[in-house]
Amino acid sequence: MNRIEVEFLKIGFSADKEPDKWIIEGVSSLLEIFSNQGHSGFSAPYAIRLFEKMSKFESIESVKKEFVKMGYKPIEELENDIDKWMQEGTIELFEKLKEINHTEYLDKIVQYFVKLANHEPLAPILCTDDEWNDVSDMHGFDVVYQNNRLSSVFKHGKDGKPYYLDAIVWKNQKGITYTGSAMNSKGTKIRSRQTIKLPFEPKTFYIDVFEYEIAPDDWEFKIVDEKQLEEVWKYYENPIID
């Protein structure tokens, strides 16, 4: 059973009945196209957001006009560069979406495509034994497990507490984001990864930091408003700090 089948099964879908069958087929066809487009970890999230935005339009011409409004050059004027590639990929997905006969389910198809294309589960993860893969060989002497439904969830040791790598994303004064750690007013470093509560659905909190240079090429990041962390601690368990 592949990942797509597992995730639809988790939300009670069956490939043998309608309309579940139509939705699964629609999502699978979009995912196949997206996979063949060869996106990297950098371009994939942006391409997914573009398609989600453009899926609301009625025609390819409307999609092309929206790209121009966003600051892209008309696709007809571009040669082989990344802007043309992004537009072509979005249009390819848009065309496939509009080929689907069951138009009343298009919103659901897009919703599930976005989650699966972002490697997110359709239903909360439970961290049951069948959800874990031993990846210790990639981590030296540590016994490390990776969740096979949400690859950004790990635990150390069989009985370790699972944590999510992207619980916190820090955003500096220039709007640049990163994961890692940032310092609070007590001089304690708070990590991006945080211990999860079960059942778990991935949620990322964007927290403002001030970036400053303390020595040549040595930078520190200080949390601007620690009240922003209050929602993090409601959603996640036992803050992980350095």
CB of 161 closer than 8 Å to CB of 154: no
Q: Which residues contact 82 (CB under 8 A, 6 or more apart)?
A: 43
Q: Give pLDDT, residue 240.
A: 66
DSSP of 104-135: GGHHHHHHHHHHHHTT--SS-B---GGGEEE-
Give pLDDT, residue 41.
86
Please list the alpha-helical segments (H only) found in the chain: 3-10, 20-36, 43-54, 60-69, 82-99, 106-117, 230-235
Q: Tell whether the model's pLDDT for residue 155 goes beyond 70.
A: yes
Give dist(CA 56, CA 63) in Å, integer: 9
pLDDT in tens, 99-137: 999 999 999 999 999 999 999 999 999 999 999 999 998
Q: For residues 218-224, give the mean pLDDT.
A: 94
Q: Is the pLDDT of residue 139 over 90?
A: no
Question: Which pLDDT score, from 0 to 100, does residue 241 have?
Answer: 66
Residue 242 has pLDDT above 70, yes or no: no
| Mean pLDDT of the chain, nearest integer | 95
Residue 238 pLDDT exceeds 80 = no
What local confidence, expressed as pLDDT, does residue 141 receive? 72
Residue type, 20: D
Q: How far apart are CA 164 and CA 145, in angstroms?
A: 12
At residue 239, does pLDDT exceed 80?
A: no
pLDDT, tens digit (0-9, with 9 covering 90-100), for 12-50: 999 999 999 999 999 999 999 999 999 998 899 999 999
pLDDT in tens, 49-92: 999 999 999 999 999 999 999 999 999 999 889 999 999 999 99
